[in-house]
Structure 1
């Protein structure tokens, strides 16, 4: 599959050569502590994960690249009725908290809504992860419900289209 380009970010399928870098990023406490599953991932677990994602036709898993360098990871997991659950992290410390985080999310959501024709995109965020909550609200997500330690958020195509115009207006 040809890489998907949007907002200066290239999204390409995860390849076996990416596994160690993705595992290192995923195990970084700055990322891992905000995940639903905070356990450390070993090499064999990462290899099993890769084998599983290769068999999932409805889900997408991409390495996000900026200027031909990997800087993050995104996924979109199929849900019923044409909706997807999103996952994203900026692995390269140099770009965490920068505006490139929004570029990665814009590329992810452009893919979801233009290629996959998603009817909605969901995100699950820990209540303690205030930075991710603010980030998702700026992208146009709305809180849909909450349970235990998590807030579920939903983004519609129309809300995203409106927020995308605002966010990309700052870029130009």
Structure 2
């Protein structure tokens, strides 16, 4: 399965992506923004990866821009993704050239469009480290609403509805569709 839009292609991860995803997830600039900032041991990653591949409550995609892999985006839910009303999205860009670039929005836009339009998900949510102001701004530009995290002051809870997203993103989509 793949999703293509806004100059990026999201290709579902396969067994061949295991080592690449592990290396990217352990990059210092990626780990720094994660809830779990610890280095992930290879053996732990392999177990997680094998289980993730068969878990119908989550999907992970490698992000491609101009046929080059630049990061990972994922969606998780408590129910199978195809039946989810509420889901959590996570994204990280491994290629630092795209961190402050408009193209960094493309994977989120492509996946969110798919989730809202094709799967009829009603709400998306996530957690962001409070000091990660770039990610907070990024998510606000997508229409996410912020709230204090109920149990961890180091985190901010964010949520996104269909209406908030489609009101917030026309300009971003227009710029990315110019090509």
SS at match of 2:169: helix
Asked if the contact 1:123/1:153 (under 8 Å) is kept, the reply is yes
Aligned to 2:121: 118
Aligned to 1:156: 161
Aligned to 1:142: 145
Q: Distance in 1 between matches of 2:71 and 2:117?
A: 21
Q: TM-score, normalised by structure 1?
A: 0.93
Q: Distance in 2 between matches of 1:49 and 1:111?
A: 25
Aligned to 1:60: 59
1:70 to partner: Cα distance: 0.8
Q: Distance in 1 between matches of 2:45 and 2:117?
A: 30
Q: Deviations over 1:79-131 (max 9, x none)?
A: 46610011000111221221111111111211221232210100200101010
- Count of aligned residue pairs for this structure pair: 171
Which structure 2 segments of 5+ residues have no match?
Answer: none
Asked if the contact 2:128/2:156 (under 8 Å) is kept, the reply is yes
Matches within 5 A, 1:1-172: 1=1, 3-79=2-78, 82-146=85-149, 147-171=152-176, 172=178
Asked if the contact 1:7/1:106 (under 8 Å) is kept, the reply is yes
CA RMSD, 1 decimal: 1.5
Say which is worse superposed, 102-111 or 76-85, in terms of deviation. 76-85
SS at match of 2:173: helix
Q: Deviations over 1:14-40 (max 9, x none)?
A: 111112221111111111011011111
Relative to structure 1, is the Cα distance of residues 114 and 7 closer, same or farther in structure 2, using a 3 angstrom cutoff?
same
Runs of 4+ in 1 over 4 A off after TM superposition: none
